[in-house]
């Protein structure tokens, strides 16, 4: 039976069919839906972890214990999980272990576009790259087999287009129980230097065995066409090449580390022009050049952003002698021309009723230096709020605020950090501990909206629910903060602007570290909003002060501001700013 699945759904299905029994992750686009789908299958334990490092460590324990395991994260999550990953490559596994790294060429929802294939080479673990939803499913099973055969973690590297595109997938049945017995082996699993030296030898021997294996692995295959042009490619770019140049010869690599060197040499010897087309870094190209071959790659293709069909056609046509092999129809104005139609700009914006909006309005009015973090609240950096100075990575806001304070003591009282509840639990706790330990005096503002909102409302340790929606312990953020050594802990309502401003001013001026917990649930979690506001045009003086909130429910007119009652959640921020009293809840008398 076939079913239409996204790449993420297919990975979940592949894990289920291949006998995965333990899975862990921290949500992050474009990987989130894998665990959300996998948890629905019987016989699989799946969990959200506080961060990616913990998720990988959970997976490591399960795999060493003999269970087939899947750990998933977005590309920057591997930065967090790199420490255990590199050592797990030394210890090896017992049950199969697959790490899904969902990369984001084009930075659709990320702060960088790092190419995590480099991690696989650095850690000396194999990496597989699917080109379709069907391959997403199938390669999970293959990766588990490789993992167990060669006693190694295996990376499955997807990209946004593969993760979120749909394709028909042939479904199978679950293959049964694969869990192995755990056998105590300190020399293998306890990485003190004396043991680790011997394991490094094993890693290098394993690499040689993998090198031989990939030469005949069926996911590395040649599709012969016209031998004027030969293209070596992988992942979603393979699909683009097939569309743009269906008649050329293609070496499709499903395993991109280690590379099948002999297969590549044989392919290169048969074609007149050799190209390597890949997104982001010249990962395959550099390895091929080390082999003594000279393919055309990043000389004409960029290291930045996504590759497209049109780009491939244009670049190949600019250098090839075999122009008749390129389908020039992708260059003809048609569907592409429709993208040139001017439509109104719709920048990203906080939702109507977002509990973060009021805080950033206050921070802007107070002209604070705001060290920011990763979450919906990062939108507070954009006009008209413009109340964020930095955004680096998960948890960076708190440490950055301490660093700014130490560099500029004269800025005391004007430096704060903002961080969400999920992000604080992910990697903000140690930063706050640093402030307490090193006698900082900055204010940390925790934006508690009771969810991991930006990635789709996933639960975390302070929501009281697990991934499977079972009730569990609920972290008390205020108690946790006090346990870290912070004595000043204040609570604030983000919909009370006067109170919020007073608390921010008081805490920022304190000569000791302080924390403000600004708590309201995400607007999208509220099933019944308050009555919307309406405006009396005759009373409105059109000062547009309310427009400084950047609320999508408000729009500026020639004579007065208008309220879209279908969008308004009744948060009352606009009414608090209105000097003429023109904004009232629907049904209230204006006058």
Domain match, 303 and 171 both: no
Q: Give the residue from 509, 525, 541 where a domain finishes.
A: 525
Domain-located, residue 338: no
177 and 279: one domain?
no
Q: Are 520 and 539 within one domain?
A: no
Question: β-strand 443-448 against 488-492: which pairing, if any?
Answer: unpaired
Higher-confidence position of 335 and 484: 484
Average pLDDT of the chain, as a whole number:
95
**What are the pLDDT digits (tens) for 26-83?**
999 999 999 999 999 999 999 999 999 999 999 999 999 999 999 999 999 999 999 9
Under a CB-based contact definition with an 8 Å cutoff, are residues 31 and 102 in contact? yes
pLDDT interval class at 519 (50, 70, 90): very high
Query: Is 60 exceeded by the pLDDT of residue 338?
Result: no
Q: Is the pLDDT of residue 325 over 70?
A: yes
Q: What count of residues does the chain have?
A: 591
Of 30-39, 255-264, 270-279, 376-385, the one with minimum mean pLDDT is 376-385
Q: Which of 434, 431, 436 is nearest to 418 (CA)?
A: 431
Same domain, 445 and 366: yes
| Residue 310 and residue 393 in one domain | no
Of 482, 506, 525, which one is at a domain's C-terminal end?
525
Confidence at 334, pLDDT banded by 50, 70, 90: low
CATH of the domain at 290: 3.40.50.920
SS3 of residue 528 by DSSP: coil
Q: Is the pLDDT of residue 591 over 60?
A: no
When computed from its CA atoms, the radius of gyration of the chain, rounded to whole angstroms, is 27
Last residue of a domain, one of 216, 249, 265: 216
Strand stretches in 182-263, DSSP E: 220-223, 226-233, 248-253, 255-257
Least confident of 153-162, 467-476, 528-537: 528-537
Report the distance separating Cα 559 and Cα 127, nearest Å: 61
Read off the pLDDT of each residue in 336-350 and give the average, rounded to a whole number.
71
Do residue 199 and residue 225 come from a single domain?
A: no
In this structure, is residue 350 part of a structural domain?
no
Residue whose C-alpha is closest to residue 398's, from 437, 444, 331, 450: 444
> What domain range is 109 assigned to?
2-216
Q: 351: Cβ–Cβ under 8 A, 6 or more apart, which residues?
A: 523, 524, 552
Task: Report the pLDDT value the prediction gives residue 332, as an integer from 0 to 100.
Answer: 79
Three-state secondary-structure class, residue 45: strand
Average pLDDT over residues 189-203: 97
Give me the residues paired with residue 242 across strands: none
Got the DSSP string for 130-153? Answer: -SSHHHHHHHHHHHHHHHHHHT--
Residues 312 and 209 in one domain: no
Residues 178 and 45 in one domain: yes
Number of domains within the chain: 4
Could you identify the residue written with the tokens 């293209």? Answer: 231
Residues 156 and 295 in one domain: no
Flag whether 258 is in a domain.
yes
Residue 212, pLDDT above cutoff 90: yes
pLDDT surpassing 70 at residue 509: yes
Q: Which range (328-337, 524-533, 574-583) has the least confidence?
A: 328-337
Asked if residue 336 belongs to a domain, the reply is no
3-state secondary structure of 482: helix
pLDDT (0 to 100) of residue 345 = 74
Same domain (yes/no): 204, 231: no
**Residue 195 forms part of a structural domain:** yes
Asked if 25 and 149 count as a contact pair (C-beta separation under 8 A), the reply is: no
Q: Is 175 a member of any domain? A: yes
CATH number at residue 70: 3.40.50.970
| 54/151 same-domain check | yes
Same domain? 225 vs 248: yes
Residue 351 forms part of a structural domain: no
Question: Domain with 543 in it: what CATH number?
Answer: 3.30.70.20
According to the model, what pLDDT value does residue 588 have?
64
Is the pLDDT at 125 greater than 50? The verdict is: yes
Can you tell me the distance from the alpha carbon of 420 to that of 398, in angstroms, rounded to the nearest whole number?
A: 11
Q: Please indicate, yes or no, if residue 340 is contained in any of the structural domains.
A: no
């Amino acid at each position: 039976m076939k079913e239409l699945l996204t790449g993420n759904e297919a990975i979940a299905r592949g894990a289920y069919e291949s006998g995965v029994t333990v899975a862990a992750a921290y949500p992050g686009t474009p990987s989130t839906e894998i665990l959300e789908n996998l948890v629905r299958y019987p016989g699989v334990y799946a969990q959200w972890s506080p961060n990616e490092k913990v998720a990988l460590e959970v997976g490591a324990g399960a795999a060493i214990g003999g269970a087939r395991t899947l750990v998933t994260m977005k590309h920057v999550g591997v930065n967090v999980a790199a420490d255990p990953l590199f050592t797990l490559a030394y210890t090896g596994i017992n049950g199969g272990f697959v790490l899904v790294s969902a990369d984001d060429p084009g930075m659709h929802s990320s702060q960088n576009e790092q190419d995590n294939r480099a991690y696989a080479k650095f850690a000396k673990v194999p990496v597989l790259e699917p080109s379709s939803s069907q391959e997403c499913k199938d390669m999970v099973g293959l990766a588990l087999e490789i993992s167990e055969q060669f006693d190694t973690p295996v990376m499955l590297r997807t990209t946004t287009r593969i993760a979120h595109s749909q394709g028909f997938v042939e479904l199978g049945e679950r293959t049964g129980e694969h869990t192995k017995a755990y056998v105590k082996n300190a020399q293998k699993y306890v990485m003190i230097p004396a043991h680790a030296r011997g394991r490094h030898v094993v890693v290098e021997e394993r690499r040689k065995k993998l090198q031989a294996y990939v030469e005949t692995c069926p996911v590395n295959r040649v599709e012969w066409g016209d031998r004027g042009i030969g293209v070596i490619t992988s992942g979603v770019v393979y699909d683009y090449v097939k569309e743009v140049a269906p008649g050329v010869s293609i070496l499709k690599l499903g395993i991109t580390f280690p590379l099948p060197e002999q297969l590549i040499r044989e392919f290169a010897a048969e074609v007149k022009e050799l190209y390597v087309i890949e997104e982001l870094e010249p990962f395959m190209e550099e390895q091929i050049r080390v082999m003594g071959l000279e393919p055309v790659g990043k000389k004409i293709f960029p290291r930045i952003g996504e590759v497209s069909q049109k780009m491939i056609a244009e670049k190949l046509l600019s250098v090839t002698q075999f122009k008749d092999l390129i389908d020039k129809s992708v260059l003809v104005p048609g569907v592409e021309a429709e993208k040139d139609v001017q439509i109104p700009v719709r920048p990203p914006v906080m939702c109507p009723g977002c509990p973060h909006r009021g805080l950033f309005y206050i921070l802007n009015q107070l002209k604070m230096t705001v060290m920011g973090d990763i979450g919906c609240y990062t939108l507070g950096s954009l006009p008209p709020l413009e109340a964020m100075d930095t955004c680096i990575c998960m948890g960076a806001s708190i440490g950055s605020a301490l660093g700014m304070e130490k560099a500029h003591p004269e800025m005391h009282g004007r430096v704060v950090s903002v961080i969400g509840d999920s992000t604080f639990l992910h990697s903000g706790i140690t930063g706050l501990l640093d402030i307490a330990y090193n006698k900082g005096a900055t204010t940390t503002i925790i934006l508690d909206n009771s969810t991991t909102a930006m990635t789709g409302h996933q639960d975390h340790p302070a929501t009281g629910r697990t991934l499977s929606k079972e009730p569990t312990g609920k972290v008390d953020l205020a108690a946790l903060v006090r346990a870290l050594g912070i004595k000043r802990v204040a609570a604030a309502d983000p919909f009370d602007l006067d109170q919020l401003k007073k608390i921010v001013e008081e805490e920022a001026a304190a000569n000791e570290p302080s924390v403000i917990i600004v708590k309201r649930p995400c607007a999208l979690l509220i099933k019944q909003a308050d009555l919307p506001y309406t405006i009396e045009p005759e009373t409105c003086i059109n000062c547009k002060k309310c427009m400084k909130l950047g609320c999508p429910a408000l729009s500026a007119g020639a004579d007065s501001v208008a309220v879209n009652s279908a969008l308004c959640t009744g948060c009352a921020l606009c009414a608090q700013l209105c000097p003429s009293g023109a904004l009232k809840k629907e049904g209230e008398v204006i006058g």
